[in-house]
Amino acid sequence: MGVITEIINTISRVVVLPTFYYMIIMSAAPILLAALACAIALKANAINMGTEGIMTMSALVAVLVSSSVGGQAKGGPWLGLVAAIIVGAFLGFLVSVFAFRLKIDIILVGIAMNLICTGASVFLMYVLTGDRTTTTSLSSGTLPQVAIPLIKDIPIIGEILSGHYILTYVAYILVFVMSFLLFKTKLGLRIRAVGENEDAAESVGISSLHIKTIALIISGALGGLAGVFMSECYLAYFSSGLIAGRGFVGLAACNMGSGNPGIIALCCLAFGIFYGFSNFATLSNLSIYALNALPYAVVLVGVVIYSVYTRNKELKRLQGLESEENLEYSQPAK
Amino acid sequence: MSEKKETKNVFEKLFGGMDVEARFGLMRMAVAILIGLGTAIILILIGAKNPLESLKYFFLGPLQIFNPNVAKGIGWNYFDQWIQSAIPLLFTGTAICIMFSANKFNLGLEGAIMMGGLSCGWVCCLLDGDIQAANANPVACAILGLLVSMAAGALITSIPALLEKKWGASIMVTSLMLNYIALYISRYCLFSTNLRDTKTSKYSWQWTENVVLTFRKFMGTRFTLRLGFFIGLAIVVIGWAFLFKTKWGFKIRQLGQNPSFAKYVGVGIVGTGILVQIIGGAIGGLCGATVILGNYNYYYGVELTGYGWDGVTMGIFAGNNPKKVLPAALFIAYIRAGASIMATQPGGPINELTKIVEGVIVLFLLAEKFLAKTHRKMIVEEAKKKQALKAEAAKEVTE
């Protein structure tokens, strides 16, 4: 009983804070980017489990490039961003090469990629900075925060919506871009065609290898963006446990939205609420570990609810089919 | 010329009896391992301050039995380090072999290991007072810890299995999330309950050494004999016998190869699918407990161990056959021990590079199209040889 009142207390204490909503929007952004990365791959019928590794690697590259150029003052973060996107795209390309040209199960490629990337990021960090855990010794800087004109002057809404890092806005804009790309362009149509039925797509002259490779390169680039978000917006440095399963959470969100950007964005915002809570642990008497575990537990429950929903839908459809069949059979008997 | 012929003869003596596929499989494995070791050499050359010294430690380190520092009471013996790092690999490799044989991508082994270690640690802490007062038998306590850990591990991996059975939730995603939940449960228990040692505040209470699964300072200071290694070996053997010599194992492999056929011939596919993951989780829990009991006399799980992912690597190396887990575990453990010995030397690079090496080897081991041309050539050659033999035989008959 005490726990429940404490939970209610915590919620009531946190939901009145505008910074809580600010945190929701911010902490949903990297998951959203990761989920979009998985989504475009999923639409091409490829599960990109390597997103976690790609994020790790590109997060580090962003920091290294940024600091080597000269940090905040010399526009380092922007160069870091570009470098990380290139690295991410290249890693996505590597995944596609191993999965489709050398014919390895793509889930296993993803696992191997995560292994290599986590190893390589720590190795690179140690070789270049002499530190094994973080790059706090480098001054890499962060990407700028954007104050939206007009909106920033509205009392509470301004506090919530304005003043985010630029990549946060990019993440939410990318939802629409991705919808457009997938459902309104030739490339999107081809990606979906290859994802639905590779042989059918091949039969009308689409090279499935080509399309899947493009999808994974875009996926990698998005993973790179997600990585940059973590090391140049969320924090101003890279550390070995920085990504903390966000790539996997993105994969879960993508599965729940079955690759549709709009639904994915909603899922990510829902996860963001619980990531948001874990940032306000000081306001609560609840255990910080319970709050930290919350996002993952919510994803778990979310995945279950989603699969119950799809299963029921499928059952209804089948029942509908059955009754139609019954009609057909019953007619000649009359 | 003659020398060349001789080497060819030796080659044929060794591999002539095998069929083409087996020979090609061996060759591909050798090439993959060579590529991996090549990567390691390049990385060491990049990362080390004195590369030759580091390379020596990396390749020969684990064979040097004595660590000069041990006499001064610092560190582990090198050979010991090799065997020690092989222990968790034996467990997780067998667990993944069994789970992946049924084609169930349950990645919850990490969580199972976490919970196994935690529950075992808890049992040891609880019973420590009784053991010190000689009310309880330390061996019985260790066995109880192992059993509890198996139950805890099985619990963690059975959750995704049941969720999949009941509602069709993606087993991969739910098991990944459970890993993190297990991690935070472990941290919670370690920091917010009376498991925490208030003095060090980092670990659990330390229990008395005699529960520990090692005979420290066996043979003077040369070796630490680890019971965990033998438990691991037993698990490998049992796992192999289970998978290849029992009715259940046959059902599991059938389920993995062709679920529709398995259903058709009357394999209870739902029950078998869940059973596999419970077994895998139990082995995972045992792994966590063995690592804790074998190396420490306190519980310290504040980070994911990574052993679960190692299991996937091992499963790939062993081709889902527990029989091959032992050599695979010894190989990976050798690389790791070598790397960590190298890393402890002044100016040596970081031991994380083994992850890169393992990943590279895994990729090239799995690549179906890798060396495809050579494969074709080998098959053609073999066929030609057979044809020539046939022609010769035909000639003899006509003569």
Kindly tell me if the per-residue pLDDT of A324 is higher than 80: no
Q: Which residue has the higher pLDDT, B83 or A219?
A: A219
- Residue A298's pLDDT band (boundaries 50, 70, 90)? confident
The model's pLDDT over B322-360, given as tens digits with 9 standing for 90+, comes to 888 999 999 989 888 888 888 877 766 777 888 899 899
Q: How far apart are CA A107 and CA B54, in angstroms?
A: 34
Give the pLDDT confidence score for residue B283 in this predicted structure: 93
pLDDT of residue B278: 92
Percentage of chain A exceeding pLDDT 90: 36
Name the more confident of B217 and B34: B34
Q: Is residue B27 part of a domain?
A: no
d(CA A238, CA A223): 16
B192 contact residues in A (CB cutoff 8 A): 287, 289
Taking an 8 Å cut-off on Cβ atoms, the answer to whether B309 and A303 are in contact is no
Of how many residues is chain B composed? 399
Structural domain contains residue B189: yes
- How close B172 comes to chain A (CA, Å)? 9
Q: How many domains does chain B have?
A: 1
For the CA atoms of B243, B244, B250, B251, what is the dihedral angle to 10 degrees? 0
Contacts of A189 (CB under 8 A, 6+ apart): none
What are the angstrom distances between the C-alpha of A272 and each of A10, A250, A253, B125, B280? 17, 11, 11, 38, 33
pLDDT category of residue A83 using cuts at 50, 70 and 90: very high
- A279 vs B178: which has the higher pLDDT: B178
What does the pLDDT look like over A35-73, one tens digit per residue? 999 999 999 988 888 999 999 999 999 999 998 888 778
Residue B38 is assigned to a structural domain of this protein: no
Q: Which of A179, A149, A121, A160 is nearest to A269 (CA)?
A: A160
Least confident segment among A90-94, A254-258, B178-182, B242-246: A254-258
B275 part of a folded domain: yes
Mutation target to probe the B interface, by most B beta carbons within 10 A, among A91, A123, A277 is A123
Look at residue B18 and give its three-state secondary structure.
coil
> Within an 8 Å CB–CB cutoff, is residue B162 touching chain A?
no
| Tokens of residue A147, six digits | 């104050």
Q: Do B47 and A132 touch (CB under 8 A)?
A: no
**Residues of chain B contacting A48 with CB distance shorter than 8 Å:** none
**pLDDT at position B396:** 84
CA atoms within 13 Å, Cβ hemisphere of B167: 17
On the question of pLDDT at B291 being above 70, the answer is: yes
Q: What is the pLDDT of residue A331?
A: 54
* A318 interfacial to chain B (CB closer than 8 Å): no
Q: What's B163's domain CATH number? A: 1.10.3470
B216 has a pLDDT exceeding 60: no
Work out the pLDDT band at B269, boundaries 50, 70, 90.
confident
Residues 6+ apart with CB under 8 A from A87: A57, A58, A61, A224
Q: What local confidence, expressed as pLDDT, does residue A127 receive?
A: 86
Residues 6+ apart with CB under 8 A from B166: none
B356 touches chain A (CB under 8 A): yes
Contact B313 A115 (CB under 8 A): yes
Q: Is residue B142 part of a domain?
A: yes
Mean pLDDT of chain B: 81
Nearest Cβ partner for B350 among A105, A107, A122: A122
Instruction: Provide the domain limits for residue A81.
Output: 2-333
Touching check for B45 and chain A: CB below 8 Å? no
CA distance A77 to A95: 26
Residue B215 structural domain? 77-337
B21 in any annotated domain: no
Which single residue is written with the structure tokens 């080597």? A68
Distance CA B349, CA B21 (A): 39
CB atoms within 10 A of CB A249: 28
- Asked if the structure places residue B67 within a domain, the reply is no
Listed range (A271-285, A297-311, B374-388) with the worst mean pLDDT: A271-285
Q: Say if CB A62 and CB A75 are below 8 A apart.
A: no
- What does the pLDDT look like over B106-140, one tens digit per residue? 888 999 999 999 998 888 888 877 777 777 777 77
- pLDDT surpasses 80 at B155: yes
**Mean pLDDT, all residues of chain A:** 86
The total number of residues written for chain A in this structure = 334
Q: With a cut of 50, say whether residue A196 has pLDDT above it.
A: yes
Residue A1 has pLDDT above 70, yes or no: no
In this predicted structure, the answer to whether residue A330 has a pLDDT above a threshold of 60 is no
pTM summary value: 0.84
pLDDT bin (cut points 50, 70, 90) of residue B217 is: very low
Answer with the residue of higher pLDDT: A122 or B293. A122
Mean pLDDT for B254-258 is: 85
Angle at B362 between CA B358 and CA B368, to 5 degrees: 160
- Residue to substitute from A38, A56, A254, A304, interface B, most B β-carbons within 10 A: A304
Residues of A (46-105) whose Cβ lies below 8 Å from B: 98, 101-105
Q: Of B273, B267, B257, whose CA–CA distance to B163 is shortest?
A: B273
**The pLDDT value given to residue B344:** 78
For residue B210 the two structure tokens come to: 């005699």
Phi, psi (degrees; rounded to nearest 5) at B59: -85, -30
Q: What is the mean pLDDT of residues A209-217?
A: 93
Q: What is the CATH number of the domain that holds A245?
A: 1.10.3470
Kindly report, residue by residue over B16-51, the tens digit of the pLDDT: 566 777 788 888 888 889 999 999 899 888 887 788
Q: How many domains does chain A have?
A: 1
CA atoms lying within 13 Å on the CB side of residue B271: 7
- Hey, are the CB atoms on A123 and B47 less than 8 Å from each other? yes
pLDDT at A333 over 50: no
- What mean pLDDT do residues B259-267 have? 82
pLDDT per residue as tens digits for the range A240-292? 888 888 898 899 888 888 888 988 998 899 888 888 887 777 777 777 787 88
Q: Is the pLDDT of residue B384 over 60?
A: yes
CA distance A325 to chain B (A): 25
Residues of B in contact with A245 (CB under 8 A): 176, 179-180
For residue B352, give both structure tokens: 């994380």
Tell me the CA distances in angstroms from B11 to A8, A233, B29, one per residue in order. 74, 59, 17
Instruction: Determine, yes or no, domain membership for B346.
Output: no
Percent of chain B having pLDDT more than 70?
86
The number of C-beta contacts closer than 8 angstroms across A and B is 138
Cα–Cα distance between A169 and A160 in angstroms, integer?
13
- pLDDT at residue number A109: 92
Q: State how far the Cα of A166 lies from the Cα of A144, in Å rounded to an integer.
A: 6
**Could you tell me which residues are beta bridge partners of residue B226?**
B214
More confident residue, B221 or B149: B149
